[in-house]
Amino acid sequence: MELSLFLSMLGFLWVAAITPGPNNMLLTASGANFGFLRTIPLMIGIMIGMQVMLLMVAFGVGGLILLYPSLHLVLKIAGSLYLLWLAWKIATSSYEKLETDQAPDAPMPFWQGGLLQLINPKAWLMALGAVASFSLAGDAYR
């Protein structure tokens, strides 16, 4: 992998990891309510769920890119537009304080963290963006 591609991938992964999303919000709340050690199973579940999602996207999108190399550019553009939209929403959002006295008795278990990925639109779009941006088009994909 070329250094420029590697550095751009690191930038993409950094942005994907720090931008607010269901995983980050859930982990922050779980850590605040139950502490770091009791939140570790949830973290591991989310990480494994993301890896499964990336494999599903890579094999599915990889097959489509082999059949339709122009789809590679379309996915890059769509992923870039999503990231710009997400940045705009973050930059223009207002702050609202949520007040509640209710907290769950225990953190979410490992398996629920993994399943969270299947309903997480940010994770799906980030996985699609990563595969589309950092894979090779056409015959070079093999």
* pLDDT tens sequence for the chain (142 residues): 678 878 888 888 888 878 878 888 889 989 998 999 999 999 999 999 989 988 888 888 667 777 887 877 887 787 678 778 877 877 887 777 767 667 677 888 888 888 888 778 788 888 888 877 777 665 555 5
pTM of structure: 0.65
Three-class DSSP labels, the chain:
CCHHHHHHHHHHHHHHHHCCCHHHHHHHHHHHHHCHHHHHHHHHHHHHHHHHHHHHHHHHHHHHHHHCCHHHHHHHHHHHHHHHHHHHHHHHCCCCCCCCCCCCCCCCCHHHHHHHHHHCHHHHHHHHHHHHHCCCCHHHHC
What is the domain partition of the chain in residue ranges?
39-91+104-142
